[in-house]
Structure 1
């Protein structure tokens, strides 16, 4: 039978749309923030810590709203979500370019955080799940790579604008980039392959019926309410939050630690730049690998990379060579790829892809609020009272616990029964 695989499968254009969303929402908003810290502190005449608080407001708003967004994605409202994201992200950055008040500055970052939730991981990872089955991990990895690609190019571009035209012009540039990229994404995106008469992986109905039952891309799974009552999903959420706690806690405190060890800013920036570079590679690689082996193993492997990198950082000395610092950056960046590539597939493996958007939105919200937001100040406070080595060893323990929780998480009985009824109980 002739298959409809001669043309490029439209799912890859959806991946491009989701990549652009990740670039604009996650990458641009997170990786460019540090550039605005000093100039906005001077512009608003407030301490730097007051400006830094905007980052926490952004993270909390993005996390809280992601739970709602995930549920809306499950209902097929992707285009509406992205359109709202265009307004909030584009408008929020435009308002940031003219605000002269710290409270208004915080409100703008709350709007930007909400806009990022409407175009962020809860939307993009769900699109990969809807359009792909056999290459779901690879698609997810490519989408997530958008943030790393942004980290390579956007900071230097925005820094040039700040130096030449000022910080206000840089916010306007952010606004323009966001609007253009998200409008392109809006034109490209389609919620599911059924919208164009196809099934996941580009199969026609005839292809689907000719495929053995165990290899068919069938969407089954527990609802969010059902899944959140199972030990499996609870363990995954705790493991994901623990991962965020250690990952962001270490990454955001590394520069201060190395500075205390008398490394100069240029050396620190150069070494830590390898995190973004290797992180981009790892999201794609781990996504590809998760399609071929149990994603729980991929998660554990990534956690061990983060653990090893943190130990290297912990035992850095003032006379440690540049290669030692680079090894930390590369290993840490490689480990970072697991959250975007392996975690979604772990959730799908344990409770099914049917309601993935709602589940992923909630899991991401829990990670953002209980992991990312708490990890940075906690690691910093431990370092302040007991030293950085103790603080980083706490992160090492957290990484270990996170991996163990994923290992012990098992498929709930209700989902096993669903697989059996669908003839998929032995599907790889």
Structure 2
């Protein structure tokens, strides 16, 4: 097929917008569980540790499915796996609206919902990287901003639905919303720009190679698994998510415990999610300019500092102000892992490679929230959670500082991306 130059508006931005919208819905619903904690405590008598255990199961399922669906998307395409995820997510949410027992919660949230959302992030982010070269960091950041948009929208919406109706109605509405929104949006997805006669944005006359600059041939997934850099990135991502997941998941409950109105507490969560948006976009631009590893280290240090500062706040103003800084910190770090993976391992097996990295990070997401619930149930405070989260974050920053690309010399790091990557 004759590959045409793009004229006018580039269709890749439609891909980015579609990915953003789908990720916003999936991750917004996943993160909104923290808003449902207090109603579930009151209505069903479950402890915070028990509710957080469902969160752990959900993130483990998310991690397994992120890898599985990432691998599957390399073979059958992104549109297929996103539709599978949408069907699972809608079914899981409708099931939550009818649940009566704790095992129902663990099965529906831990298996169906966690597994479903795993079909969105990795395949869609991997898809976006195939459409862009010079502005890849920005494009990935925009798509990843769906996580912040989802939190911004669904935290106050969930609280409003719960207050106006009840938590069962909220889950039922969300189940229907998933099917109505996500499945039609998949019609906009295209696997590669070449499929519609385009080149990736910023690509020169020669197609961008699948092989990273430091390798002599494209990396297969089995080869990626033998590279120390893969395991360093995966462990850094694990520590990063373990650091911020507890404070995020328990944010609304912690604010309510401080005597703040319930709707205002949900607003603090929404404000933090909103603040994550400039963080995500800013790091994408900075990564394109200065290199993804350098920005990753800086933002991991910011995140660790933000978590530790939670020990110093105890009122609405303190939580709201720190929430803004925390949002910039945890939001900004998340898009960088896909960019680092693309730079270090190439595009040949990116779905599987990034899926495996993201899968391990999901264990950190579940572990942080679960430990926060257990510590609160036993100690009646979140202070131990904040200290533990800081240690996770500091460990991630330290490991990221020593990260080297495969085949590079000690102390070397990747330069900012050029037009040919």
TM-score range, shorter chain: 0.7 to 0.9
* Alpha-carbon distance, 1:233 to partner: 0.8
2:79 is matched with which residue? Answer: 79
Alignment of 1:117-132 (within 5 A): 117-119=118-120, 121-132=121-132
* Alpha-carbon distance, 1:41 to partner: 5.3
1:213 is matched with which residue? Answer: none
* Alpha-carbon distance, 1:217 to partner: 2.6
Normalized per residue, which structure has more helix?
A: 1
Selected match of 2:312 from 312, 315, 320? 315
Q: Is the 2:129–2:136 contact (alpha carbons within 8 Å) kept by the matching residues of 1?
A: yes
2:369 is matched with which residue? Answer: 376
Distance 2:102 2:383 in 1: 35
Alignment of 1:276-425 (within 5 A): 276-316=273-313, 322=317, 324-369=318-363, 371-379=364-372, 389=383, 391-413=385-407
1:420 is matched with which residue? Answer: none
1:8 is matched with which residue? Answer: 9
Question: Which secondary structure state, in structure 1, belongs to the residue aligned with residue 219 of structure 2?
Answer: coil
TM-score (normalizing by structure 1): 0.84
Distance 2:37 2:221 in 1: 39
| Bigger shift: residues 223-232 or 390-399 | 390-399
TM-score (normalizing by structure 2): 0.85
Q: Give the RMSD, CA atoms, in angstroms.
A: 3.0
1:231 is matched with which residue? Answer: 228
Residues 1:356 and 1:36: Cα distance change in structure 2 (over 3 Å): same
* Alpha-carbon distance, 1:18 to partner: 0.9
Distance 2:260 2:230 in 1: 43
Residues 57-91 of structure 1: CA deviation (Å, up to 9, x unaligned):
22121111111111112224212101211211122
Residues 1:41 and 1:131: Cα distance change in structure 2 (over 3 Å): same
Instruction: Point out the structure with max Rg over C-alpha.
Output: 1
Question: Which secondary structure state, in structure 1, belongs to the residue aligned with residue 187 of structure 2?
Answer: helix
Distance 1:34 1:185 in 2: 27
Distance 2:160 2:320 in 1: 26
Question: Which secondary structure state, in structure 2, belongs to the residue aligned with residue 7 of structure 1?
Answer: coil
Alignment of 1:52-63 (within 5 A): 52-63=52-63
* Alpha-carbon distance, 1:158 to partner: 3.3
Q: Is the 1:74–1:355 contact (alpha carbons within 8 Å) kept by the matching residues of 2?
A: yes
Q: Is the 1:96–1:168 contact (alpha carbons within 8 Å) kept by the matching residues of 2?
A: yes
Task: Find out whether 1:65 has 2:65 as its counterpart.
Answer: yes
* Runs of 5+ unmatched residues, structure 2: 212-217, 410-416
Residues 1:291 and 1:187: Cα distance change in structure 2 (over 3 Å): same
Distance 1:259 1:160 in 2: 16
Distance 1:325 1:38 in 2: 18
Q: Is the 2:52–2:369 contact (alpha carbons within 8 Å) kept by the matching residues of 1?
A: no
Q: Is the 2:134–2:419 contact (alpha carbons within 8 Å) kept by the matching residues of 1?
A: no
| Bigger shift: residues 137-146 or 53-62 | 53-62
Q: Is the 2:274–2:327 contact (alpha carbons within 8 Å) kept by the matching residues of 1?
A: yes
* Alpha-carbon distance, 1:160 to partner: 3.1
